[in-house]
Amino acid sequence: MAEKFEFQTEVNDLLNLMIHSLYSNKEIFLRELVSNASDALDKLNYLSLTDEAYKALNYVPRIDLAIDKDAKTLSISDNGIGMSHDELIENLGTIARSGTKGFISKLSGDAKKDSSLIGQFGVGFYSAFMVADKIEVISRKALEKDAYKWTSDAKSYEIAPATRQDHGTTIILHLKDDEFADEWRVESIIKKYSNHIPYPIFMDKTEYVPPKDGEKEGSYESKNIQINKANAIWRVAKSQLKAEDYNEFYKQISHDSHDPLLYIHTKAEGKIEYNTLFYVPSTEPFDLFRVDYQSGVKLYVKRVFITDDAKELLPSYLRFIKGVIDVEDLPLNVSREILQENAIMKSVKEASVKKILSELGKLKQSDKDKYLEFYKLFGKVLKEGLYGWGGEKESLLDLVMFKSTTRDGLISLKEYKDAMKEGQKSIYYISGNNEKMLKSSPLLESFKKDGIEVLIMDEEIDTIVMPMVNEYDKTPIKSVSSADIDEEIGVKEESADDSKITKTIIKLKEILKDEVKDVRATGRLSDSAACIVYDKNDPDYAMQQMLKQMGQGDLPPIKPILEVNPQHELLIKLESNEAAIYDVAEVLLDLAKLNEGISIKNPSELSKKITKLMLKAL
């Protein structure tokens, strides 16, 4: 007897979207269903080689398509792992991991663009309702006797006992129109999206048979033929593949409707044998900046699928990479611990990272515009690799790019170094979260005056990683907010001589002793009266803010250094007007903080003090 169920609320929302909003690219439903069938075969294939209970199964993996024009149905069958009664409910009646909410939140209103998200969010099965008003799923779990039929009209669903001769799943779509009851149309979609599924796809196809000797006319016969190549593309020689082969396979494994930006195909022979095929997407994956991002790389051992959920295969700063790693010398029942500790996997990972970074470097040299397209998408993620002491740091430093005070667009560290002034000892940068404010910072006054270029680092990740980058190509990298660069940038002793304002500095130190580490004269300022800098061993303000966001808000407060301009009229006049220093000191410090984007404790108090000073001036 059939059991009736209501869909989870989120599934109802999703089905309405599928049916009414994403109809313009409806052919992708077949890609999704074939991909699901391939996954079911992957799972059973793996178990039949690694689990004693499944080794006795005698089957040849395959996917079958069947069209019934009279009944207007299209069926997709596989002899994979199959689903039990409870798994039919779990997999088809609900959506795990808030997949629907994430999917809906990413919708842009562009139906073609939005339909490319379907597979990425693991909701591909429901795309079948774009072309069918009723769907039946008959499934039998491997090693189990009972089969069940799941039936739905997109409003509710029911499950009833069924019969099926062997394990696997058959999906029967009752089509809304004749478009997908056409053999040629279905075959063309398979060749477009699923040509390189590693399992054969068969379909009954009507073919013309020429007349035999003595016969006047030929005839049409239905033959069950394979309609895809079913080759593991990553094991095929590059010379035998075209760009469209690579692009088709990318779309199949990534569920992305766009061509990739770059593909990297490697076959390694010798002590360790493996094949890799990596892709750089041309669009940003939806979970790129989520902690629970899905790995885009599938691991195979001797063509046997092992896992697509191993984040250990590549470092997290390459999480945008999609593709396949196929290793020869690993046990088929490889565990996550083995993936982390195995010497072979460690070598494959290191070589893969080196190859990917090398190819990105080549792209940067050969096609700057295309590289900038890549960098706009994934530059922030790439910079994460600069954190810590990884062996790829030098390669990454050649790839990262930054804004500049003297040039438009983005430049590399090499481009900066090539343009350094004669006698310039370091690469200089200023960091914060507001480009406009950074470019107008008093800290840049002496650099502008002397024509020295400064890199603008206005991304949060810059604040985290750059303090860990000490040099590039043997040239030191220093922040302009560091207190120890005066001499280096050509500030002369006499210009920093505080003899003209000795009393003022002593008094400022006394008044501000609880708020600053030191007060001293500097020659780095030309127009401004004062600026904030930090001791070379202290994190600057931007870094302090990042540490708080990362949960380290309990660190002791770090006091800045107030540097004052001994040539500025304000400081010179204070020397002969000691009483005014008490009114000016806090204002001088607060304004210096505001110039660097630093929040001040009491804005209303600052306003009162400025008003008081203006009244005195009037």
Please report the pLDDT score of residue 105 as a whole number: 66
Please report the pLDDT score of residue 468 as a whole number: 84
Please report the pLDDT score of residue 5 as a whole number: 87
Please report the pLDDT score of residue 96 as a whole number: 43
CATH topology of domain 3-226: Heat Shock Protein 90 (3.30.565)
The percent of residues above 90 in pLDDT, for the chain, comes to: 52
Q: What is the mean pLDDT of residues 223-250?
A: 92
Helix (H, G, I), strand (E, B), or coil: what is residue 301? strand
Structure tokens, 44: 């059973």
Which tops the pLDDT comparison, 406 or 24?
A: 406
Which tops the pLDDT comparison, 344 or 612?
A: 344
Residue 118 gets which letter from DSSP?
T
| CATH number attached to the domain at 400-617 | 3.40.50.11260
| Residue 97 dihedral angles phi and psi, to the nearest 5° | 55, 30
Among the listed residues 532, 530, 521, 522, the one whose alpha carbon sits nearest the alpha carbon of residue 596: 532
| Residue 263 dihedral angles phi and psi, to the nearest 5° | -125, 150
* Dihedral sign from CA coordinates of 75, 81, 86, 92: negative
Please report the pLDDT score of residue 61 as a whole number: 96
Side-chain half-sphere exposure of 488, counting CA atoms within 13 A: 15
Number of helices (H), then strands (E), belonging to the chain: the values are 21, 23
Structure tokens, 201: 């796809």
Which tops the pLDDT comparison, 82 or 593?
A: 82
| Residue 286 dihedral angles phi and psi, to the nearest 5° | -65, -30
Element (H, E) at 570: helix 569-575
pLDDT at 582 over 60: yes
Per-residue pLDDT reduced to its tens digit, 1-48: 789 988 877 777 777 777 766 656 788 889 889 989 998 999 999 899
DSSP-assigned states of every residue in 577-617:
-HHHHHHHHHHHHHHHHHHTT---S-HHHHHHHHHHHHHHH
pLDDT at 130 over 50: yes
pLDDT at 493 over 50: no
Q: Are 250 and 322 in contact (CB under 8 A)?
A: yes
pLDDT at 362 over 70: yes
534, β-bridge pairs: 482
pLDDT at 553 over 80: no
Please report the pLDDT score of residue 97 as a whole number: 40
Question: For the ranges 47-61, 293-307, 314-328, which has the lowest average pLDDT?
Answer: 293-307
User: What is the rounded (10 degree) CA torsion for 535, 538, 542, 547?
Assistant: -170
Q: Are 525 and 444 in contact (CB under 8 A)?
A: no
Residue 482 gets which letter from DSSP?
B
Helix (H, G, I), strand (E, B), or coil: what is residue 217? coil
SS (H, E, C) 186-247: HHHHHHHHCCCCCCCEEEEEEEEECCCCCCCCCEEEEEEEECCCCCCHHHCCHHHCCHHHHH
CATH topology of domain 233-376: Ribosomal Protein S5; domain 2 (3.30.230)
Please report the pLDDT score of residue 385 as a whole number: 94
DSSP-assigned states of every residue in 419-434:
TPPTT--SEEEEE-S-
User: What is the rounded (10 degree) CA torsion for 21, 27, 32, 35?
Assistant: -170
Q: Are 212 and 178 in contact (CB under 8 A)?
A: no
Instruction: Using pLDDT thresholds of 50, 70 and 90, give the confidence band for residue 413.
Output: very high
Among the listed residues 49, 510, 29, the one whose alpha carbon sits nearest the alpha carbon of residue 304: 49
All CATH 3.30.230.80 domain ranges in the chain, comma separated: 233-376
Question: For the ranges 132-136, 395-399, 416-420, 518-522, which has the lowest average pLDDT?
Answer: 518-522
pLDDT at 554 over 80: no
pLDDT at 100 over 70: no
Q: What is the mean pLDDT of residues 108-137?
A: 72
Round to whole Å and give the CA distance between 194 and 30.
9
Rounded to the nearest angstrom, the gap between the alpha carbon of residue 155 and the centroid of all alpha carbons in its chain is 35
pLDDT at 161 over 60: yes
Q: In whole numbers, what is the pLDDT of the chain averaged over residues?
A: 87
Please report the pLDDT score of residue 35 as a whole number: 87
For the ranges 119-123, 346-350, 580-584, the one whose mean pLDDT is highest: 346-350
481, β-bridge pairs: none
Round to whole Å and give the CA distance between 374 and 589.
42
Which tops the pLDDT comparison, 305 or 74?
A: 74
pLDDT at 481 over 90: no
Please report the pLDDT score of residue 112 as a whole number: 52
Instruction: Using pLDDT thresholds of 50, 70 and 90, give the confidence band for residue 544.
Output: confident
Q: Are 432 and 458 in contact (CB under 8 A)?
A: yes
Question: For the ranges 267-271, 294-298, 306-310, 451-455, which has the lowest average pLDDT?
Answer: 306-310
Residue type, 407: R
| Residue 280 dihedral angles phi and psi, to the nearest 5° | -105, 115
Per-residue pLDDT reduced to its tens digit, 196-207: 888 999 999 887
Round to whole Å and give the CA distance between 292 and 316.
11
Residue type, 354: K
Among the listed residues 268, 326, 256, the one whose alpha carbon sits nearest the alpha carbon of residue 298: 326
From the number of C-beta atoms within 10 Å of its C-beta (0-12, 13-18, 19+), residue 380 rates as middle
Please report the pLDDT score of residue 512 as a whole number: 94
Question: For the ranges 46-55, 317-326, 538-547, which has the lowest average pLDDT?
Answer: 538-547
All CATH 3.30.565.10 domain ranges in the chain, comma separated: 3-226
Helix (H, G, I), strand (E, B), or coil: what is residue 347? helix
Beta strands 168-175 and 132-140 are antiparallel
pLDDT at 572 over 80: yes
Please report the pLDDT score of residue 115 as a whole number: 53
Instruction: Using pLDDT thresholds of 50, 70 and 90, give the confidence band for residue 111.
Output: low
Please report the pLDDT score of residue 118 as a whole number: 56
Please report the pLDDT score of residue 536 as a whole number: 78
The Cβ of residue 98 has, within 10 Å, a number of other Cβ atoms equal to 12
Per-residue pLDDT reduced to its tens digit, 458-473: 998 998 888 889 899 9
pLDDT at 494 over 60: no
Q: What is the mean pLDDT of residues 420-443?
A: 91
Residue type, 157: Y
Beta strands 455-457 and 73-78 are unpaired
Element (H, E) at 280: strand 274-280
Q: What is the mean pLDDT of residues 380-386?
A: 95
From the number of C-beta atoms within 10 Å of its C-beta (0-12, 13-18, 19+), residue 247 rates as middle
Please report the pLDDT score of residue 266 as a whole number: 97
Instruction: Using pLDDT thresholds of 50, 70 and 90, give the confidence band for residue 98.
Output: very low
Round to whole Å and give the CA distance between 377 and 610.
45
Residue type, 26: K
Helix (H, G, I), strand (E, B), or coil: what is residue 108? coil
The Cβ of residue 219 has, within 10 Å, a number of other Cβ atoms equal to 11
Round to whole Å and give the CA distance between 115 and 118.
6
